[in-house]
């Protein structure tokens, strides 16, 4: 994945009850460290924030889960090699109980 090129990520909402989506954060961190290759968990460090805003879900034709597609740009400062795109999703469940989910996937950055 070259730096400066848009990357598309699709997040599907997986709520088992009525939920009110509040927002989502997408971030990116390098997995290459002086100690080797180790991808950080988005629950501990979201990395460089690529998107911070609303999660405006919609349903795709034929899909049972609502989703939203995000297009973000890989920062030029991102090192080549293995990296992780992490997300933190926030919602209110039922009568207002807060809910947070983190998830991630690895990518390979090329310049």
State the Cα–Cα distance between residues 89 and 108, nearest whole angstrom: 23
52: tokens are: 């911070």
- For the chain, the C-alpha Rg in angstroms (whole number) is 15
Give the predicted TM-score (pTM) of the model. 0.73
Q: Are 105 and 47 in contact (CB under 8 A)?
A: no
What is the full per-residue pLDDT of the chain (111 aa) written as tens digits?
Answer: 556 556 665 555 454 557 788 899 999 999 977 666 788 889 999 999 999 999 877 666 666 666 788 889 999 989 888 999 999 999 888 878 898 999 999 999 988
Six-digit token string for 1: 């994945």
**Phi (first) and psi of residue 29, to 5 degrees:** -135, 145
Q: Which domains does the chain have, with CATH numbers?
A: 6-109 (2.60.40)
């Amino acid at each position: 994945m070259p730096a400066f090129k848009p990357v598309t990520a699709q997040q599907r909402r997986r709520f088992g009850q009525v939920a009110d989506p509040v927002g989502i954060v997408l971030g990116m961190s390098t997995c290459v460290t002086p100690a080797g290759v180790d991808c950080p968990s988005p629950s501990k460090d979201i990395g460089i924030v690529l998107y911070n805003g609303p999660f405006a879900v919609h349903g795709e034709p034929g899909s049972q889960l609502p989703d939203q597609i995000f297009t973000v740009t890989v920062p030029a400062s991102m090192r080549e090699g293995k990296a992780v795109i992490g997300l933190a999703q926030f919602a209110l469940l039922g009568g207002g109980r807060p809910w947070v989910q983190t998830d991630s996937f690895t990518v390979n950055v090329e310049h």
